[in-house]
Structure 1
Amino acid sequence: MKARLLAVTALLGTASAFGQTVLTVSSWLPPTHTASVSQQKWCAALEQESKGGLKCNILPKAVAAPPGTFDAVRDGLADVSFTVDGYTPGRFVFAQIAEFPFLGDSSEATSVAYQRIYQKHFVPLGEHRGVKVLGVFTHGPGVIFNTRKPITSAADVASLKFRIGGGNISELSKAMGWNVTLKPATDSFELLSTGVMDGTFLPDESFASFKLSMVKHVTRFPGGLYNSSFVFIMNPEKYKGLSAEHKAVVDKLSGEYVARLFGQGWDALDKTSREGLQKELGVQPVRASEAFVAEVRAKQSGLEDKWAAAASAKGLKDPKAVLDEFRAEIKKVN
């Protein structure tokens, strides 16, 4: 026993001598999901940039359920992970700006624009206080998947039951009178395969990622029906404990680097799922009509006013101007 203890001590001493720091990394999504893959790529870049001084230990199982991930990283149960802001309703107000309908058809463009707005306007107001934010991003444009029938109008949506992920789409669904239930994306397969739900609101990649072969219909909107805002985070004490050299590596691989990495991955899998697996399995696509889009836009207008009031109350100056700046920034990235 004493010999084993000495061996372990020697091993730790060797690691310390080489200055290697191991980060515990968690993902609540499958390891093959694009967000998990992007996180793995970030870890590989981290190790390469630090010349082996920083390394990730990617856990085989998440340290917390999706809604608890932010607090788990804050409290040190994991050093690095990502989460969806909308999974904890009402907690992150400014992040909702990235969840509105019709923002754009590219996760990369929307994510990079969101990162720029986030850094300029939201970081000073402490939107994600308690953690070290490595970057923010959004998934690809949200679509409506269902197992029952073509969805061509708001009334068609109202006739079925849907899983949603929270955030602005939750507020929009209430305003539209739709029958929705807030559940993590990872519950989609079970909810649809058992018939508890008729469909789910997700980006195109989810058809492949969550093996939703029971889906027969998809309705897409110009610029997406919604987005989900994600935040990629690190335990602040772990970051503080890094050497100046290693902090510089983490900082280099933060911000727009994160937004582009996750956004590019999402765009690629969206395309693969849309043009490959969905087509192969005969999913019937519908393009939302101008009338359908107008119905959504009319309800969303009031929600943007509501968001602007809430954001203003939390200290954001002229939220509507920030929203206009965000939309203009997306076009610049494109």
Structure 2
Amino acid sequence: MKFPLKSSVLALIGLVGAAMAEPEVTLRFQHFVSPLSANPTYFMQPWADAIEEQSGGRIEVELYPFMQLGGKAPSQYDLIRDGAIDGGWVIPGYQPGRFPEAEALELPFMTTKSGEEASRAAWIFTQEHLMDDFADVHLIAAHMHGPGIVHKRGAGLGTVEDFSGLRLRGPSRPATMLLEEVGAEPIGMPVPAFPEALSKGVLDGGVITWEMSPSLKLDELTDSHTDVAGDRAFYNLYFIWAMNRDAYEGLPEDLRAVIDANSGLETSAMAGRAHDTGDTEGRDAMAAAGNEIAELNEDETARLREIGDRVRSRWIEEVTARGLDGAALVQSAMEAVEAGRADPS
């Protein structure tokens, strides 16, 4: 099944793009990583370029890395909501407990190792469960990264027991729950703080993607990188690409149509593909540096999946106690993942 743009939207874009114009609107979007990392390179900048081109130059999109416009990564959602910035990249899990339904997609071994597939699942799940949660911003895309990998000093992991006592950075509540269950000491922190914590010996390692490894200098700060066997991710992380609602609604109708034409399912999939490209590059960079590239065997991965099932059960109990239907959310997430794997053509 294809997802064609509505003819009216295409017509509006054609009229807008007929002649390049001076910018009427400048949109300032902010993120918290290096501009050379995968998502800014393969998603954010191409997205910004498409907006500028399809608007005939009437919209200018400025991208600010490393939170250059102010604030901390965990406050990004509120910065967008309050209009301090026009838009940006948000990890809802950086505010534990605020968006609990989104955590269903972040549970252990929930998503496949394809960021593109997982990101289609993220959009599908978001449309069903999260639009009310994000009602005070304008949602453009919802996506996941590729598989989370364990990066650490010293040798790679060979057994579940090798996690015991390791101080490992965790990015989200489900990830830290999993690290607790395997005997590690999870330390929650946003990605910008990860390299310094490694260099100062606060951490033994952490979980993050292949694609972030080069920009975080994990070839220098760690020695090994361990994935799990099979096609399911050890953990994953949920993101949104969003815009201030007033900034969006204040655009003329034809310019809102340009934003709309670059939003939704396939825009989310594009963000996931950016991570897939970066994962290949990041893994190759770590191997080229001489670091150990490890993978837990199928038996040890099966043991981890059993532990992941315990995390899932614990999560269901916790969110159900908060008045949500945890089991139904997990089932819906599983269905979204399967739908995300389907051939969109």
1:52 correspondence with 2:57:
yes
Structure 1's unaligned 5+ residue stretches are 1-16
- After the TM superposition, which of the residue ranges 100-109 and 71-80 deviates more from structure 2? 100-109
- After the TM superposition, which of the residue ranges 70-79 and 57-66 deviates more from structure 2? 57-66
1:332 correspondence with 2:342:
yes
Q: Distance in 2 between matches of 1:230 and 1:207?
A: 18
Q: Distance in 1 between matches of 2:69 and 2:203?
A: 25
Which of residues 140, 145, 148 in structure 2 aligns to 1:139?
145
Q: Amino acid of the residue matched to residue 130 of structure 1?
A: D
Q: Distance in 1 between matches of 2:236 and 2:245?
A: 27
Q: 2:46: which partner in 1? A: 41
Which of residues 36, 59, 63 in structure 2 aligns to 1:32?
36
How far off is 1:272 after superposition?
1.2
- After the TM superposition, which of the residue ranges 58-67 and 141-150 deviates more from structure 2? 58-67
Which of residues 67, 91, 112 in structure 2 aligns to 1:104?
112
Q: 2:10: which partner in 1? A: none
User: Structure 1 pair 316/170, CA: closer, same or farther in 2 (3 Å)?
Assistant: closer
1:196 correspondence with 2:206:
no
User: Structure 1 pair 19/207, CA: closer, same or farther in 2 (3 Å)?
Assistant: closer
- Paired residue secondary structure (1:133): strand
Q: Distance in 1 between matches of 2:253 and 2:326?
A: 32
Q: Amino acid of the residue matched to residue 168 of structure 1?
A: P
How far off is 1:200 after superposition?
1.2
1:127 correspondence with 2:130:
no
Could you give the per-residue CA deviations for residues 81-137 of structure 1, whole angstroms, max 9, x where no partner exists?
0111211111111211221233212111111122122223432xx122321111111
- TM-score normalised per structure 1: 0.88
- Give 1 or 2 for the bigger CA radius of gyration: 1
How far off is 1:51 after superposition?
1.0
User: Structure 1 pair 74/258, CA: closer, same or farther in 2 (3 Å)?
Assistant: same
User: Structure 1 pair 257/326, CA: closer, same or farther in 2 (3 Å)?
Assistant: closer
| Counterpart contact for 1:109–1:333, Cα < 8 Å | no
Q: How does 1:1-334 map to 2 (within 5 A)?
A: 20-37=24-41, 38-59=43-64, 61-102=68-109, 103-123=111-131, 126-212=132-218, 213-221=220-228, 222=230, 223-275=232-284, 277-308=285-316, 310=319, 313-314=323-324, 318-333=328-343
How far off is 1:36 after superposition?
2.2
User: Structure 1 pair 85/333, CA: closer, same or farther in 2 (3 Å)?
Assistant: farther
- After the TM superposition, which of the residue ranges 145-154 and 288-297 deviates more from structure 2? 288-297
Q: Distance in 2 between matches of 1:63 and 1:332?
A: 40
How far off is 1:315 after superposition?
6.6
- Paired residue secondary structure (2:221): coil
Q: Distance in 2 between matches of 1:73 and 1:271?
A: 31
User: What is the RMSD of the two structures over their aligned residues, measured on CA atoms?
Assistant: 2.1
| Counterpart contact for 1:22–1:56, Cα < 8 Å | yes
- Paired residue secondary structure (1:313): coil
Q: 2:4: which partner in 1? A: none
- Paired residue secondary structure (1:77): coil
How far off is 1:306 after superposition?
4.1
Regions of 4+ moved over 4 Å: none
- TM-score normalised per structure 2: 0.85
